[in-house]
Structure 1
């Protein structure tokens, strides 16, 4: 993994290294990645092919992990990172938001939950009581709900404002975390947090995962040049944006980028967006206040116009999403018919799902080793039993113990392909 980090730093500061060293470093890093994920495989007799896999013999057996993998001293493994999640929803999303939160929960992470102001006070109160009274959340104090709800208008900049609000709360609350991940109540994980934490423990902590491009095409005429006003910025009731007849030119002081509204952003970049020691985040935010679908452009434009961060981008939102061809405004809702495609994608997240769709139960049982939607997805820190469907995570062990499984292999292969020489450098900000 030292070779991987060296390769990544070479890509980030390419001008500091002579060109003749590019190919040896690239080849060495690819070999390192291949060996890392080969380590998750076992031979026919159950022993690991390479002894690098993070597993502890005391962990209970599951469908993910081969029984005979040998345990390793903790000192041989990199420390796991910590994620900071924003999970947001709107009217009638409270139940699905609970389910998604429990599917994503891990004690070392942090969580901000938001139901926007279109939801009823009763729905928000019920969710707040759930967060406040859950015994595991109470023990670790790492789940916060935004009780003064924000209006989030479809296609307007208020989603960006809500995302920045959550990031500011996470910074104010303190605590260590490495990546900020924004999800909606209609998102769902395809791997456990142990899988994801294990895989990200081998990555440089300044990487930013966001789907992005500067090729605006039709978006230049339909999104960049129109001027809109979002009533959610100043009204108490949600309504659609309204349009100004006058159009504007494309900016010349910064280059516009667009992409997916869902991303995994590094702590240094979030600091840059919130504290803004450079004026770029503020100037860009003011421009995107009148931009159609600003969540699909604000963070992309900031990161790609910043010299400090433009070489840290990985061009993926880490989601499986099913689109029409060519894509329409909204993706398909996922069902059991998409199950194998979701698995084959190796992505850690997927969207969009209807509440309580049967495919969610299949993901729980087949991918997350979860006995029901009302319990936490188990990890190495859960040491309780499962008698009569009880939640094993109500009994807490060592929170630093991870028990990754097949999901870690899938995500590892996915990240490895994203960081390959042809994809990583070739698909960064241009």
Structure 2
């Protein structure tokens, strides 16, 4: 038992160090601008009452997924937002350099300087707590590099937006900036024994390469010092709550990290448990992650892959994002064409784009966002207005269940 206890404390210590130390080893490849350019952009980005919010995206992937990452980045791109991309230790240094070069080569990314690529990769195993450590570190870096954003959004290479950024910005424009969109429940069911009473060790916390987690033979009691909540790992979290868990002036986030270091799929429970046990945040919780999934019956560990047969239901769901997709599936082309108005190499269209479709034949480019105007102007589609109505409805009920 002494050896197990030591390994548990070691894993927790590494998890905390990953979460709270903001590394300087990330590539600023996409923002090689002069000081005057940055000042101009900062002046253009208004942050006052009535202006759209700013989203900070944490986009994660692994080796062999550069094209999917770039496609997703372009699909969710807007000059107002911040983007931080991480390829885990399943990728090579060459792949990470290639990704940074791809970001740097895009004129719009370079001009607005709002896309960063993590230069250092982290080993992760989705079964263990290393994914949580990487996510918290990504949030810490975003806090460090930008003071402007309002919500932290997690995406993976298997995700894709099913609304435009103008739609999403419009939907959140009147939402109180302290609200958190977190799918959650306190009904643990089978998970109580399989995840919270079993002890898992995640070697990816202390190894350079992705490593498979393993379970210890010992078990432990369900905690009674706090109430456990679980749900979807895909979240939209307020800046104030991210500061709460990263800076952890209160001791609860640190205690939870110590516990969740040895919990299977901890990224599906840490944020839920932290927010629902924090008096100052419990009433900022909205029980919805604005994601569209299709599950098998009975459900497996992951949702089913989406294709064209899911298109109508997916769009009618009024969700903001959907998963999982196979890279290059035809349904993504349909989303690009019918929703995002995105060319094969361009970014998602928004009011800030000044290109006109009638100019395509003259310029030879299908990208409508090669020239731009006021980045604070947005123009939602009718679907964006419906999303705003949905968000206004779901935020009426807050708290943890």
Bucket of the pairwise TM-score, normalised by the shorter protein: 0.7 to 0.9
**Deviation string, structure 1 residues 89-115 (Cα, Å, up to 9, x no partner):** 012211101000001111111010011
Matched, 1:301 2:273: yes
Range that drifts further, 351-360 or 398-407: 398-407
State which of 288, 293, 304 in structure 1 corresponds to 2:260: 288
Question: Displacement of 1:413 after TM fit?
Answer: 3.3
8 Å contact 2:308–2:331 — kept in the other structure? Answer: yes
Secondary structure, in 3 states, of the residue corresponding to 1:260?
coil
8 Å contact 1:112–1:166 — kept in the other structure? Answer: yes
Please give the alpha-carbon distance, in whole angstroms, between the structure 1 residues aligned to 2:137 and 2:70: 20
State which of 167, 170, 176 in structure 2 corresponds to 1:204: 176
Question: Displacement of 1:137 after TM fit?
Answer: 1.2
Question: Displacement of 1:121 after TM fit?
Answer: 2.3
What is the match of residue 101 of structure 2?
Answer: 129
What is the match of residue 119 of structure 2?
Answer: 147
**Deviation string, structure 1 residues 144-203 (Cα, Å, up to 9, x no partner):** 110111111121111111111111111111230110000101100001101100110011
What is the match of residue 377 of structure 1?
Answer: 348
Consecutive unaligned residues of structure 1, counting only runs of 5 or more, are 1-73
What is the match of residue 3 of structure 2?
Answer: none
What is the match of residue 250 of structure 2?
Answer: 278
Please give the alpha-carbon distance, in whole angstroms, between the structure 2 residues aligned to 1:168 and 1:112: 11
What is the match of residue 41 of structure 2?
Answer: none
State which of 365, 384, 387 in structure 2 corresponds to 1:411: 387
Question: Displacement of 1:213 after TM fit?
Answer: 0.5
Structure 1 length-normalised TM: 0.79
Structure 2 length-normalised TM: 0.85
Secondary structure, in 3 states, of the residue corresponding to 1:223?
helix
Please give the alpha-carbon distance, in whole angstroms, between the structure 2 residues aligned to 1:269 and 1:246: 34
8 Å contact 1:180–1:264 — kept in the other structure? Answer: yes
Secondary structure, in 3 states, of the residue corresponding to 2:86?
strand
| Aligned counterparts, 1:2-401, within 5 A | 78-372=50-344, 374-386=345-357, 387=360, 388-401=364-377
Alignment length (residue pairs): 350
Runs ≥4 in structure 1, deviation > 2 angstroms?
A: none
Please give the alpha-carbon distance, in whole angstroms, between the structure 1 residues aligned to 2:94 and 2:356: 34
Question: Displacement of 1:369 after TM fit?
Answer: 1.6
Please give the alpha-carbon distance, in whole angstroms, between the structure 1 residues aligned to 2:116 and 2:50: 28
8 Å contact 1:385–1:391 — kept in the other structure? Answer: no
Question: Displacement of 1:416 after TM fit?
Answer: 3.2
What is the match of residue 59 of structure 1?
Answer: none
Please give the alpha-carbon distance, in whole angstroms, between the structure 2 residues aligned to 1:375 and 1:174: 25
Question: Displacement of 1:132 after TM fit?
Answer: 2.2
**Deviation string, structure 1 residues 69-101 (Cα, Å, up to 9, x no partner):** xxxxx9xx8211000000100122111010000
Range that drifts further, 254-263 or 394-403: 394-403
Please give the alpha-carbon distance, in whole angstroms, between the structure 2 residues aligned to 1:255 and 1:90: 33
Consecutive unaligned residues of structure 2, counting only runs of 5 or more, are 1-45
8 Å contact 1:347–1:410 — kept in the other structure? Answer: no
Secondary structure, in 3 states, of the residue corresponding to 1:246?
strand
**Deviation string, structure 1 residues 9-37 (Cα, Å, up to 9, x no partner):** xxxxxxxxxxxxxxxxxxxxxxxxxxxxx
Question: Displacement of 1:324 after TM fit?
Answer: 1.5
8 Å contact 1:320–1:350 — kept in the other structure? Answer: yes
After superposition, the CA RMSD in angstroms is 1.6
Question: Displacement of 1:325 after TM fit?
Answer: 2.7
